[in-house]
Amino acid sequence: MKIIAIETSCDDTGIAILKQDKKIKVLADFLSSQNDIHATYGGIHPSIAKREHAKNIFSVFFSALKKAHLLKKGTTKIHPETEIILERYPELLEKLKDFFTKYEKPDLQKIAVTVGPGLEPCLYVGINFAKAIALNWDLPLIPVNHLEAHILVNFIEKKEENIFPALALILSGGNTKMFLIEEIGKYKELGSTRDDAIGECFDKAARLLNLPYPGGIEIAKRAKKVKKSQFKLPRPMLHSNDYDFSFSGLKTALFYELKGKTLDKNEVNEMCFEIENAIKEVVVKKTERAIKEFPLNSILIGGGVSSNKSIQKALKDLAKKNKLKLLIPKYTTDNAVMIGVSAILSPKLNLCDKLKANSNLNLND
Ligand code: KG4
């Protein structure tokens, strides 16, 4: 079985093709990143992100089919509804129609697409593109929850034994969530951020320090250059009696700390070290709390911030101390491979024409 997966929930246009035998194999994995475009705003601009998805999705799709050796010369009879589905993206519609006059249905059995959470206009580019393909190639269309995908991608290479019950941490640019997994498909949310997401905090802090977007990578790079910091920032909600996070206070504290000052290079490095430490300590403390409260076999992490080496090391130490497994995925930042993996491991109903974006989709929706 071969599946094509589409991800457009935020600022990355991703398309992957996976093959499922006994194992899941990645045949193609393409991503068009908009980082350079959004860098000028220091964050993601939704209408620009939508426009870029519509502009780039076809070439990402074509590259993925080519890489997976699935382009087959011939024709696909164009379904008249294609025009309606893609009417908001006229250039994309033309490219797809032209493609259908040159290529026939490839050896694909399913389509998977992210339906939420994410930026609604962006989600709809992926959903409508997926609908058009599903209709013309008569393929089932599987909706995928982006959060679930960030965690299930941990299982792409091997099916580990005795993973559940597990604690999952989603640490990304748009989400900060902790939840318990009883088994795949059975989730209980423990907590989430009350304001900024963890990656958003890294990005906003970097902006205050005049560092480029995405800020998390820049802060991590500079934090590594020092071993201590003269600065002290708050650890918001460190001792709160719950699993919620709050990161906007950290950004505000940084704003006041920087007011009227010009930091030299070493001071910037020390500030980055302090920002990373403040964020890390909160994540570790909340994780430790969950370990004490719930019987667990493992900790699974996912999302762009989970690629942070300092946070990974702290969680590794914590897992080791508590004799728990820690699973760190190869695919941390947004990608389409995880969407395909999630559709394979936790398939939802084929909803094709009823499919809707849900920017606030919850794990059990
Ligand atoms: O999961 P992701 O690709 O997409 C969104 O949800 O947007 O995460 C992107 C986020 C950005 O905020 C970026 O600054 C952060 O992940 N990030 C990092 C690192 N690499 C990416 N944050 C801290 N340390 C890193 N090494």
- Asked if residues 286 and 245 have their Cβ atoms less than 8 Å apart, the reply is yes
Q: Does 38 share its domain with 10?
A: yes
pLDDT value at position 351?
Answer: 65
Q: Does 164 share its domain with 145?
A: no
In this structure, is residue 154 part of a structural domain?
no
Q: Under 8 Å CB-to-CB from 215, ≥6 apart: which residues?
A: 42, 202, 203, 204, 205, 206, 207
Q: Does 174 share its domain with 303?
A: yes
Could you identify the atom of ligand 1 that is nearest to the CA of residue 198?
A: 12
Mean pLDDT across the chain, nearest whole number?
95
Single out the residue of 221, 218, 223, 209 nearest to residue 269, CA to CA: 223
Least confident of 155-159, 281-285, 338-342: 155-159
pLDDT value at position 361?
Answer: 86
Distance CA 326, CA 320 (A): 8
Distance CA 125, CA 127 (A): 6
The CATH code of the domain that includes 260 is 3.30.420.40
Ligand 1 centroid, distance to 284 Cα (angstroms): 18
Q: What percent of the chain has pLDDT over 90?
A: 88
In this structure, is residue 356 part of a structural domain?
no
Q: Does 188 share its domain with 291?
A: yes
Could you identify the atom of ligand 1 that is nearest to the CA of residue 206?
A: 14
Q: Does 141 share its domain with 263?
A: no
Whether the pLDDT of residue 352 is over 70: the answer is no
In this structure, is residue 358 part of a structural domain?
no
Q: What percent of the chain has pLDDT over 70?
A: 98
In this structure, is residue 351 part of a structural domain?
no
In this structure, is residue 210 part of a structural domain?
yes
Q: Does 169 share its domain with 49?
A: no
Confidence of residue 202 (pLDDT cuts 50, 70, 90): very high
Using DSSP, state whether 206 is helix, strand or coil: helix
pLDDT value at position 165?
Answer: 98
In this structure, is residue 268 part of a structural domain?
yes
pLDDT value at position 263?
Answer: 97
Mean pLDDT of the region 266-289: 98
Ligand 1 centroid, distance to 29 Cα (angstroms): 19
pLDDT value at position 257?
Answer: 96
Q: Tell me the range of 35-49, 139-153, 341-355 where mean pLDDT is highest.
A: 139-153
Confidence of residue 349 (pLDDT cuts 50, 70, 90): confident
Whether the pLDDT of residue 273 is over 80: the answer is yes
pLDDT value at position 362?
Answer: 84
Using DSSP, state whether 28 is helix, strand or coil: strand
Confidence of residue 100 (pLDDT cuts 50, 70, 90): very high
pLDDT in tens, 13-69: 999 999 999 899 999 999 999 888 887 776 788 899 999 999 999 999 999 999 999
- Please indicate whether residue 38 or residue 240 has the higher confidence score (pLDDT): 240
Q: Does 116 share its domain with 247?
A: no
Q: Which domain holds residue 223?
A: 159-327
Phi, psi of 165 (to 5 degrees): -70, 145
Using DSSP, state whether 135 is helix, strand or coil: helix
Ligand 1 centroid, distance to 161 Cα (angstroms): 29
Q: Does 23 share its domain with 125?
A: yes
Mean pLDDT of the region 329-338: 96
In this structure, is residue 360 part of a structural domain?
no
Q: Does 121 share its domain with 226?
A: no
Distance CA 73, CA 290 (A): 55
pLDDT value at position 69?
Answer: 98
Count up the domains in the chain and report the number.
2
Using DSSP, state whether 301 is helix, strand or coil: strand
pLDDT value at position 353?
Answer: 64
- Asked if residues 110 and 142 have their Cβ atoms less than 8 Å apart, the reply is yes
Q: Does 317 share its domain with 341?
A: no
Give exposure, 172-196, as e/b (b: 16+ Cβ within 10 Å).
bbbbbbbbbbeebeebeebbbbbbb
In this structure, is residue 365 part of a structural domain?
no
Could you identify the atom of ligand 1 that is nearest to the CA of residue 303?
A: 1
Query: Considering only CA atoms, which residue is closest to atom 8 of ligand 1?
Result: 304
Judged by phi (left if over 0) then psi (alpha if -120 to 50, else beta), residue 82 lies in alpha
Query: Considering only CA atoms, which residue is closest to atom 7 of ligand 1?
Result: 173
CA-to-CA separations, 167 to 33, 287, 310, 325, in angstroms, rounded: 30, 8, 19, 10
Confidence of residue 363 (pLDDT cuts 50, 70, 90): confident
Q: Does 255 share its domain with 275?
A: yes
Query: Considering only CA atoms, which residue is closest to atom 22 of ligand 1?
Result: 216
pLDDT value at position 42?
Answer: 65
Q: Does 320 share its domain with 189?
A: yes
Ligand 1 centroid, distance to 156 Cα (angstroms): 21
Ligand 1 centroid, distance to 174 Cα (angstroms): 9
Confidence of residue 347 (pLDDT cuts 50, 70, 90): confident
Q: Which residues line ligand 1 (CB under 6 A)?
A: 10, 172-174, 199, 202-203, 214-217, 220, 303-305, 307-308, 333-334
Distance CA 274, CA 171 (A): 18
